[in-house]
Amino acid sequence: MKKAWAILWLVALLMAHQGAQAAPLEAIREVLRHRLLPPPDETALANLSEENLAQQLKSIDLYTQVFTPQDYRAPLAGVGMWVGIGAGLVMRNTEAILNIYKGGAADLAHVPDRSRLVAIDGQPVKNLDVQNIADRLRGEAGSTVKLTVLQPEGKQKDFLVLRTVFKPLDVELVPPGTQHVVRVRDFSSGLTRSAMRATLDFLAKTRNTNNTEPILIDLRDAPGGDLYEAFDLAGLFLSSGTPLAIIKGRDDYSMEIRAPGGPKYTMPLVLLVGPETASAAEIFAGILHQQNRAQLVGQTTYGKCSSQTDTLLPDGFVLRYTNKEVFFPNGDTCSGVGLIPDLEVDNNEIDILPRLVERARIFFP
């Protein structure tokens, strides 16, 4: 699989540093031996040790992690009020890119979305890793930080950002000009589908759309989330009973997922995707694309059509590991390859939303 993009959401509170408490190695081996997909190599399990445990686990399964009780943050723990600059940090090679949350501190300071971070409080970030950059950006609500950024159009500028408490949105309405763009940042269980429906109904009511005007769904900042929420979201745009995917697990486990009933949206769809589009977001995009329900514009996605689960270990440790693989109805999976857009754009365009919207117009009826 291609090199993973380092993604760290800076809006959350600083998690505690790992202490000296020893991980329960035998319990980790037992869980992985009986539940990991695919089954692990016994030699690799036997060689697990406290030294470089994180790297050893990744050599067994790229997405397996062990958390101390202090470090663990459940997948849905971000739902609620967060503290920070209101941005996600994406590392592309040596460039740090800020994905701005609507209503967050950086947005209120008018920092352009997908700006390149150049310096923090006058200190250059070049050659710093993601953790060092994150440490410099963190701070308590009410404190300020000066961000020097290279804006998407190429101009460098300083912004003074007042760190705040705010509630991020899974679904944001981001209209450049007159075109409707709905940005999905996360697939949160029981939340994202209803947020999408509320957003589309709002557009229909306030902008006199009649379910025929094209909608762009921006998935460039969506690293994943709840697998079944992705199925539910895809089901909003597909007729009842349409095959969505097949979930496979250990011991010949297999389950077919089909679109549920209920009201459907039939407007033309274009999905904006990129290297950070992963996991549940890729599965959502892949389902609609395979069913000829949506066109893809952007760059090849991350390449992860698997699902992880968390298991509680002794002493409060938590093990996260891969337990399911998702296949599309034709038998394909995006794992290791990603989704290839119908219209690919270069690195100069992928971060500029108005330009992507303009390129996507070739698919509008």
Q: Which residues contact 70 (CB under 8 A, 6 or more apart)?
A: 15, 16, 17, 18, 19
Give pLDDT, residue 252: 93
Q: What is the pLDDT of residues 306-327, one digit of tens each?
A: 999 999 999 999 999 999 999 9
Query: Which pTM was predicted?
Result: 0.86
Distances in Å between the Cα of 329 and the Cα atoms of 187, 192, 243, 253, 322 are: 21, 23, 6, 16, 21
Q: Extract the runs of DSSP E, i.e. beta strands, from the chain.
A: 6-9, 65-67, 82-84, 87-92, 95-100, 115-120, 123-124, 144-150, 156-162, 164-166, 171-173, 181-184, 215-218, 243-248, 254-258, 269-273, 294-298, 306-312, 318-327, 343-344
Contact 232, 286 (CB under 8 A): no
Contact 1, 79 (CB under 8 A): no
Q: Which residues contact 209 (CB under 8 A, 6 or more apart)?
A: 180, 203, 267
Contact 169, 187 (CB under 8 A): no
Give pLDDT, residue 5: 36
Give pLDDT, residue 226: 94
Give pLDDT, residue 148: 97
Percent over 90 (pLDDT), the chain: 73
- Report which of residues 94 and 290 the model is more confident about: 290
Q: Is the pLDDT of residue 216 over 60?
A: yes
Q: Is the pLDDT of residue 179 over 80?
A: no
Give pLDDT, residue 102: 87
Q: Is the pLDDT of residue 207 over 60?
A: yes
- pLDDT bin (cut points 50, 70, 90) of residue 135 is confident
Section 324-348 average pLDDT: 95
Give pLDDT, residue 209: 60
Length, in residues, of the chain:
365
- What the chain holds in terms of domains, given with CATH numbers, is 171-303+338-363 (3.90.226.10)
Q: What is the pLDDT of residues 3-47, one digit of tens each?
A: 333 333 333 322 333 345 789 999 999 999 999 999 999 999 999
Look over the chain and give the mean of its residue pLDDT values, rounded to a whole number: 88
Q: Which residues pair with 255 in a beta bridge?
A: 247
How many CB atoms are closer than 10 A to CB 52?
11
Give pLDDT, residue 218: 97
